[in-house]
Amino acid sequence: MTDNDSGVLVVVEVADGQPVDLGKEMLGLARQLTENLGGTVTAVAFGAGLENIGEILIAYGADQVLINDNALFADFHAEAWLPDLSKIISEVAPIVVLIGHSEPGTDLAPRLAFRLDVDVATGCESIEIINGRPHMTRSCFGGLAREVVTFSKTPALATIRSKTQQALEPMIERVGEIEQVSSILDGSSLRTRVVSRETEKADGAKMESAKIVIGGGLGLGGPEGFKTLNEIAELVDGAVGASRAACDLDWCPRSYQIGLSGRTVAPELYIAVGISGASHHMAGCGNSKTIVSVNTDPKAEIFKSSRFGIVGNSQEIMPALAEEIRKLKA
């Protein structure tokens, strides 16, 4: 760390020209960190056709926004982002770099750490500044314990789990600087190319932003069980997730997986159906406001984390629940 290092840099992913929710949440965290660390919050956005992104990121807490608008960045491609992002980080010289714990973020962060010869903590849930140094907290031992890590090198890189931080209320009157940066990338030097990209069709509410998430596990008995969960989710404007075991059996798309090696949700209501409550699963839904579970085994671990529990067969209870909701809505 040198005397010139200061502040926090946030790498914000962009989807359809808008910053993703996790980017806004990380800006909220960055603002808190700079209260202790001093310095400014710099947001960096890569993409193509990024029109109003600078103003949006300032409204959510950035002091400075660096925009790298280039057709080469239309789709995420870690190899293409690395030269520019490394250069930006070296010039800004932040103490902390925040990256989303998303598929692109977890691809990017270790490569970036290697290139910058610094350390990275992935899957962080909080960061505290102690004696001027960032201390990152994350799950370990399959979600059974928490560890706190800190590094001697600067900047400290951290990937942040979604829904662990609070985005600020946007303030359109906030002022900041917006700068377009030019790319140093030589497209011909790329060893890999994105040839095509297929987006998995997602019906209904997005899992991370849904107020109600219904998770299905092996206790559903087969892929048909997910049809009922999807019906209920549609009726209540919720989203469907799953345990890893259900995804492994192809009962539902892999993108449904909630947990340590899947997605993190923190809805108002999480309904766990036929899920045993393994720590690996709870790492992705344990922060839900209310957990309700349906399980045939009264001793199932999931009941320990649940506010309400129904001991019973999901194949009887879930169709009956769908029917009741339909009646209420009619």
Among 78, 218, 235, 325, binds ligand FAD (CB under 6 A): 218
SS3 9: strand
User: To the nearest whole angstrom, how small is the minimum distance from the Cβ of residue 217 to ligand FAD?
Assistant: 2
Shortest Cβ distance from residue 316 to ligand FAD (Å)?
A: 8
Nearest to ligand FAD of 67, 245 (CB atom): 245
Q: Report helix, strand or coil for 72.
A: helix
Neighbours of 16 (CB within 10 A): 7
Q: List all residues 6 or more positions away from 272 whose beta carbon is below 8 Å from its beta carbon.
A: 215, 217, 285, 291, 292, 293, 294, 295, 302, 306
Binding mask 273-302 for ligand FAD (x = CB under 6 A): -xxx-x-xx--x---------xxxx--x--
219: contact with ligand FAD by CB under 6 A = yes
By beta carbon distance, the residue nearest ligand FAD is 259
Q: Does 217 bind ligand FAD (CB under 6 A)?
A: yes
Q: 139 and 124 in contact (C-beta within 8 Å)?
A: no
> What's the min distance (Å) between Cβ of 311 and ligand FAD?
9
Q: Are 261 and 245 in contact (CB under 8 A)?
A: no
Strands (E), 141-289: 145-149, 156-160, 177-180, 212-216, 239-242, 269-273
Of 259, 267, 286, 309, the residue at the interface with ligand FAD (CB under 6 A) is 259
Question: Smallest distance from the beta carbon of 136 to ligand FAD, in angstroms?
Answer: 20
List the interface residues with ligand FAD, window 88-127 (CB under 6 A).
Answer: none
Minimum CB distance to ligand FAD smaller for 32 or for 306: 306
Backbone angles phi, psi at 152, to 5 degrees: -85, -25
User: Helix and strand tally (H, E) in the chain?
Assistant: 8, 16
SS (H, E, C) 98-150: EEECCHHHHHHHHHHHHHHCCCEEEEEEEEEEECCEEEEEEEEHHHCEEEEEC
How far apart are CB 242 and ligand FAD at their closest, in Å? Answer: 7
Q: How far is the CB of 260 from ligand FAD (least distance, A)?
A: 4
Structure tokens at 211: 């107020």
Contacts (CB under 6 A) with ligand FAD, residues 220-249? 221, 243-246
Site residues, ligand FAD (CB under 6 A)? 142, 217-219, 221, 243-246, 257-262, 274-276, 278, 280-281, 284, 294-297, 300, 313-315
